[in-house]
Amino acid sequence: MKSFSGLLLAGVAAAVPTSLTAEADAPAAAIKCPIVFDGRIPSTLALSAFDSSGSGSPFGADYVKGNDLKWSDILLLPTVPTSRFDGAVNGTATPFKAVEVTLSDKSIFQKQNGFRRAGLQFNGDTNTGSPGWTGIKTLHFSVKQDPQRPLNLSHEYLNVWHEASDYSADQIMFQTGTLIDQSGLPKNTFKVLSRSNKLLWSTPMDTSDWQNFAFTLDFNKNTVQVYYSKGTDPLASVLKATADDLTGAGEYQIGILKKPTGTSDVVNSGFQESGLKEGQIYGGIFLEDSANGCVSL
């Protein structure tokens, strides 16, 4: 609110109730650090833009998705309140909107019959030499649940992660559901895991509000710091910089990867329900440069 003049602020305060409901747009929060990859969806962008490069989509058109699907079959543009970093700051710039990644029975990538998956990858994020994997960077995203397309938390989901360039490991993982190797953890939480599958932090999944996350990745020190908030609140640090091996380059992926049950070969076999209708809503996706400790809250 600092950006408004005193006069305008007084007028706004008189007209708007002081507490916003869960369904209100978040007050626009400014991104204060340089953006490296901008995955926010301009409010004017059509679904068809995701199907080809150069059409204004922030993400690659070819990966990672079901072989017989186009992104316009997979993604939805749900009518939901804007998330924390999607509003028009100062009422001038174009606002951004949410995007939903869905899974269906056709969400089979290559020959990976065990998984159901769809993952967005930033334009310009390359498997080696990516500007997103040097120095100190903070990955931001917000998630919201679609009551029409609930995730089945009896399964393990990998929703946001970074996979090393040789595909041997994920350096950081944002997950939910029942983790196959750590089934004692509650299923209805979002979990942040390190490269060695160590639980770094978790929080209950909220079925109505936006939940806002940011991971500061320090490639010089090999640490991860986690920031979190719910609804329209500013982010707060919830995990101080903690050791994690971030070496090995690779790419970010944002979407859903649903693992099967009942198998030790999750990529290729196991059980998946048929008639899948699942989704995860995302907003405010971007990677910012956190050199000198800059993090947008």
Ligand X SMILES: *[C@@H]1O[C@H](CO)[C@@H](O)[C@H](O)[C@H]1NC(C)=O
* Virtual torsion, Cα 196, 279, 230, 60, nearest 10 deg: 70
Does the footprint of ligand X cover residue 155 (CB under 6 A)?
Answer: yes
> Which lies closer to ligand X via its Cβ, residue 6 or residue 129?
6
* Strands of 189-194's sheet in order across: 116-120, 251-258, 156-163, 170-177, 189-194, 199-204
Q: How far is the C-alpha of 266 from the C-alpha of 264, rounded, in Å? A: 6
Distance of alpha carbon 145 from alpha carbon 210, whole angstroms: 8
Please give the residues from 14 up to 33 whose contact with ligand X meets the rule CB under 6 A. Answer: 30
> Nearest Cα to 23, choosing from 237, 179, 209?
209
| Beta carbon nearer to ligand X, 21 or 92 | 92
How far apart are CB 1 and ligand X at their closest, in Å? Answer: 11
Least Å from the CB of residue 34 to ligand X: 12
The residue range among 47-55, 111-119, 147-155, 157-165 that interacts with ligand X, by the rule CB under 6 A, is 147-155
182, 203 contact by CB (below 8 A): no
Indicate the DSSP class of residue 122. B
Cβ proximity to ligand X, 152 vs 242, nearer residue: 152
Per-residue binding letters, 270-289, with ligand X (x by CB under 6 A): -x-x----------------
Long-range Cβ contacts of 159-162 (<8 Å, 24+ apart)? 159/190, 159/254, 159/255, 159/256, 159/257, 159/280, 160/213, 160/252, 160/253, 160/254, 160/255, 161/252, 161/253, 162/133, 162/217, 162/250, 162/251, 162/252, 162/253
Please identify, using beta-carbon distances, which residue of 3 and 67 lies nearer to ligand X: 3
**Does the footprint of ligand X cover residue 154 (CB under 6 A)?**
yes
Strand partners, 217: 137, 224
Beta carbon nearer to ligand X, 89 or 294: 89
Tell me: does residue 94 bind ligand X (CB under 6 A). no
Stretch that binds ligand X, among 6-14, 105-113, 149-157, 221-229 (CB under 6 A): 149-157
Binding marks (x or -) toward ligand X, 33..72, rule CB under 6 A?
----------------------------------------
Only segment of 16-24, 106-114, 138-146, 148-156 that touches ligand X (CB under 6 A) = 148-156
Residues engaged in binding ligand X (CB under 6 A): 3, 30, 89-90, 152, 154-155, 261, 271, 273
